Structure 1
Amino acid sequence: MYESYGLLIGGEWRRKGGAGEIAVSDPATGEVMGTAPAASAEEVEEAIDCAAKGQKLWRGTQAWMRADLLHRVADRMVSRAEEAARRITLETGKPLAQAKREWGLSTDQFRWYAEEARRIYGRIIESRAPGGRVEISHEPVGIAAAFTAWNFPAFLIARKVAPALAAGCSIIVRPSREVPGTAMLLMDCVKQAGVPAGVVNLVIGPTATTYDPIMASPAVRKISLTGSTAIGQQMIRDSAATLKRVSMELGGNAPVIVFDDADVEQVLDLSVPVKFANAGQVCVTADRFYVHERLVKPFVEGFTARARALKLGHGLEESTQMGPLINQRRVDAMERIVADAKGRGGRIETGGGRPAGQNKGFFFEPTVITGLPDDALAVAEENFGPIAAISPFDSAEEAYARANTSEHGLAAYVFTREPARMREAAQRLEAGMVGVNSYALAAAEAPFGGIKASGMGREGGAEGILDYMNVKLTQVAV
């Protein structure tokens, strides 16, 4: 599959890269599926030059034409949905149904921003000068670069490419080396839709050859990252030399508060599938559950029973409900978290290790832990895996205080049937996004992003296009 595409530079596929090859493995088996070309620093420089040429053409392309082309990209994606879902599953391990949903959400991004391209509004302000006026307009920021993680290999790219194209920016995409095939498929949809050569470029490879040239180039004006907080901090430092605009969707450690008036069965119906989707490798997934002491016993029992019943397996198998982690490093991380929990007196209600008899791939059992102090790794840090920590609380003030202790502020959730408490929780929880009786936060029409150590900027919604535009003031005197 990888040999059919490769790097995309200046509108042409390159099946060989100057930095050799990257082996791509199926996380469900650990076996190598193929090799992708790795770009050299010189090839990345060439991609930047091509993006500069594409930028001159694309920024002059009329907004309604950009919109039509984005709709064509979405049409191409619809026609390749089955192929794409299979590729996502093979590269990430997630069940096929989840992969199909991801590709559908990715398609939505192009549909939404096709219409946003037609709605780039300015405004006119009455001037103090007699007969004058002040015009506020928006212009594309210039060449953008997108760095994306492996957990949503299509969606994370779509959330960056679609608004960039809608705004009139060319873009260079640098995906995670674990999932290059999904990026290739998406870029091929862009190419086949007729987006001009050089407007979208794809480079794959090690940090030394793909990261450094982009960060050092004054021609690249915007950086967008989905990744860890540590990487985001480094990117912000590296961006300072050329004063690039940055938007960062970084780590999360989402709290869930379950108040005493919540319907336990309803909360469990929503929480367990969400927690273990993509084996817990979701930045907005629920990590720490704070459950009112009146409900904690049935909640723990119900959560444990449902987690224990989940069917693990290869994502292409129809019966699979949870797939593997992405690599051995994530398995090692889960084992460290469990060991820390045991050392702090935590109770492993279910899971806690590799599944018995599972000798291939990077599987880890759905795990539920209770009785932990708030400084335990499973509570204090983003586990990014299938581990749920459940703790009781006895007052709303306690719940809010414990929920807000994290340095992260991406997402938070609350379950209650009391309208006043819903509004209070939305105000009190320190997060860029709050779900009230719902985990549904990621949609093309809604701005997605966090505060504190979870980053800055927004992706999605009318707000998402603004990160790819400069505001221009024009003073007109008559």
Structure 2
Amino acid sequence: MQQLDHQFIDNRWVPSAGQRRLPVTNPYSEEVIAEVTVGDPADVDSAVAAARRALPAWRARSGAERAAYLEGFAEALTRRRDELIRLSSTNNGKVLAEAGIDLDDAIACYRYYAHQARELDHRQGRLVELEMDGVEARCYHDPVGVAGLITPWNFPLVTSAWKLAPALAAGCTVVLKPSEVTPLPERTLAEIAIEVDLPAGVLNLLYGDGEGVGAPLASHPGVDKVSFTGSNRVGEAVMRAAAERTADVSLELGGKSPILVMEDADPEQAADWVMAGIYSNAGQICSATSRLLVHDAIAEPLYAALAERIDDLTLGDPLAEGTDMGPLTSARQRDVVRAYLAIAEREGLSAVRDSRHRRLPDSGFFVAPTLYRDVPTQSRLWREEIFGPVLCARSVASEEEAIRQANDSDFGLAATVVSGDAERARRIGRALQAGSVWINGEQLVLPETGWGGFKRSGIGRELGPWGLSAYLAVKHLVGPVPS
């Protein structure tokens, strides 16, 4: 069993100032595979101080120099691909295929922001068009400073890449707090920092929970920017802490995303996209399309197709070839989902498929893939994020009704539209209040396209040039034209 009792500060593993220890559990075997010492505010102070010392020299480097380090991260992750896929499956419960996709997405993100860092060199000092004789203005982009990055447990290496890569590309130094539930994959980032000879203090990694590390990091006066991905409850606390010193924040929070299936769609093809949108990663996806709005005309054939596919899912060991769905990542999350299933029973929801239709594996934090139909819009299962393999469905009579019900939500992270008419699907997509809308396909997230939501799904954008801008401050120099 691994003992994670050191923090990565200034390119060295140093003993943690904290005393509390937390177990790290394999969600399939339910065995404790590691123990992590929870950091405390003294560790945060040390890490932030290291990041501040490293900031002047790091921000002074060219974008091309910073890009070389990001390419180094991508290459090191590629060399460790097989090892990291198995580690992610063991710590997180992902099936091997999903863990492989996650890692490849992370690698692509580091490569993309290496390119963006080089482009940043060309953007510096560009002239701004002015209608004024004898005066010129030039635009510069400076790093915001020290960034505190707080990542979730459902996609550890991916979400850390979405934050760490643009922060480093912009010239920020960082303090990264992985989830205490899945600390093992992101430990590799510290090892890679040493391997590529990243300057000391540019990347600091702290193990701990919200009390010991997360809250002190979000409220630390030496942190200029906080980027958080996780629950609304914690995100709101991060925002309050940052507000006390007017620090910059980016928040990627909850979702209750709809998938709209129109009457001109092929039910069999639509069923495949519905399945991918809710049962991948055991439903533990912030963008999971957990609300199905299907036109009356094809509701019955779609429900039948979904029932057949749910029955065909293989639940089991995520390390075994052929497993379609692994366990939830923790016992706590399993219990959260079970509590919603109990609410569904009290509300009398109609289950097309649930635990009564399937025997679960003997070990592991499993929840049966579940589908409820004709779910009232006032149901808590329709309105609240469950973060598990639970799909709520209802039929609609028209396109207008589908759009109205899709937008009737506190969240607006993502959506999917399925229609036999691609132009119609795009028209519907433009009417939806969501940061990302997929048209006739699975949830394709690319480094080049922004990620973030409307309403309570968060503030700001990750990925694309917008992700880089989140770590940059715009500066203009205005004065007489040089003679």
TM-score w.r.t. the length of structure 2 is 0.95
Aligned counterpart for 2:160 among listed residues 127, 132, 157: 157
1:333 to 324, 336, 340: 336
Query: Structure 1's 46 and 309: CA in aligned 2 closer, same or farther, altered over 3 A?
Result: same
Alpha-carbon distance change, 426 to 371 in structure 1, aligned in 2, over 3 angstroms: closer
Question: Following TM superposition, by how much is the alpha carbon of 1:2 offset from its aligned partner in structure 2, in angstroms?
Answer: 4.2
AA paired with 1:53? R
Cα distance change on mapping 1:208 and 1:82 into 2, 3 Å: same
Matching residue's letter, 2:238: M
Q: Which amino acid aligns with 2:18?
A: G
In the alignment, what sits opposite 2:207?
204
1:354 to 1:37, Cα distance in 2 relative to 1, 3 A: farther
CA contact 2:109–2:161 (8 Å) conserved in 1: yes
**Do the aligned partners of residues 210 and 477 (structure 1) sit closer, same or farther apart at CA in structure 2, a change above 3 Å counting?**
same
Q: How does 1:404-423 map to 2 (within 5 A)?
A: 404-423=407-426
Aligned mates of 1:339, 1:78 — CA distance in 2: 43
Does residue 448 of structure 2 align to residue 449 of structure 1? no
Tell whether 2:475 aligns with 1:472: yes
State the secondary structure of the residue aligned to 1:448: coil
- Code of the residue aligned with 1:118 in structure 2: it is R
Q: What amino acid maps onto 1:117 in structure 2?
A: A
Residue number in structure 2 paired with 1:84: 84
**What is aligned with 1:384?**
387
Is 1:312 the counterpart of 2:303 in the alignment?
A: no
Aligned-residue identity in percent = 33
Q: CA RMSD in A?
A: 1.7
1:48-85 residue CA offsets vs partner (Å, 9 max, x unmatched): 00000111121011111111111011111100111111
Retained in 1: the 8 A contact 2:277–2:443? no
- Between the aligned partners of 1:322 and 1:252, the Cα distance in structure 2 is 21
Give structure 1 regions of 4+ aligned residues with deviation exceeding 6 angstroms.
none
- Alignment equivalent of 1:178, drawn from 178, 181, 184: 181
Distance of 2:425 and 2:71 partners within structure 1 = 38
- Corresponding residue for residue 398 of structure 2: 395
Change (3 A) 1:2 1:460: farther
Q: 1:51-90 counterparts in 2 under 5 A?
A: 51-90=51-90
State how far apart, in whole Å, the 1-side matches of 2:2 and 2:43 are.
Answer: 18
- The one of 242, 251, 274 equivalent to 2:277 is 274
3-state SS of paired residue (2:259): strand
The size of the alignment, in residue pairs, is 478
| Counterpart AA for 1:251 | G
Distance 2:215 2:253 in 1: 20
Separation in 2, partners of 1:115, 1:216? 32
Q: Equivalent residue for 1:35?
A: 35
Contact 1:278 1:322 in 2 (8 A): yes
Q: Structure 1: any 5+ residue segments left out of the alignment?
A: none
Deviations 1:6-37 (A, max 9, x none): 42101012365533432100111221001123
| Deviation of 1:4 (Å) | 7.6
Cα deviation, residue 176, structure 1: 0.8
What is the Cα deviation at residue 361 of structure 1? 1.9
Instruction: Trace 1:9-408 onto structure 2 (pairs within 5 A).
Output: 9-14=9-14, 16-120=16-120, 121-122=123-124, 123-127=126-130, 129-352=132-355, 356=359, 358-408=361-411
Residue 98 of structure 1: CA displacement?
0.8
Uncovered stretches (5+) of structure 2, i.e. residues with no partner: none
The superposition leaves residues 108-135 of structure 1 with CA deviations (integer Å, 9 ceiling, x where unpaired) of 1110000000112253124455322011
Amino acid at match of 1:348: A
**Match of residue 431 from structure 1:** 434
Task: Tell whether the 8 Å contact from 2:461 to 2:467 is kept in structure 1 after alignment.
Answer: yes
C-alpha change, 1:61 and 1:470, in structure 2 (3 Å) is same
CA, structure 1 residues 354+65, in 2 after alignment: closer, same or farther (shift >3 Å)?
farther
Q: Which moved more, 1:8-17 or 1:160-169?
A: 8-17
Residue 356 of structure 1: how far off its partner (Å): 3.2
Q: Deviations over 1:352-375 (max 9, x none)?
A: 379636342211111111121111
CA contact (8 A) 1:335 1:353 kept: no
Question: What is the CA distance between 1:396 and its match in structure 2?
Answer: 1.0
Q: Is the 8 A contact 1:126 1:132 kept in 2?
A: no
Distance change (3 Å), C-alpha of 1:294 and 1:127: closer
The TM-score normalised by the length of structure 1 is 0.96
Instruction: Judge conservation of contact 2:110–2:165 (CA < 8 Å) in 1.
Output: yes
8 A Cα contact 1:353 1:364, kept in partner: no
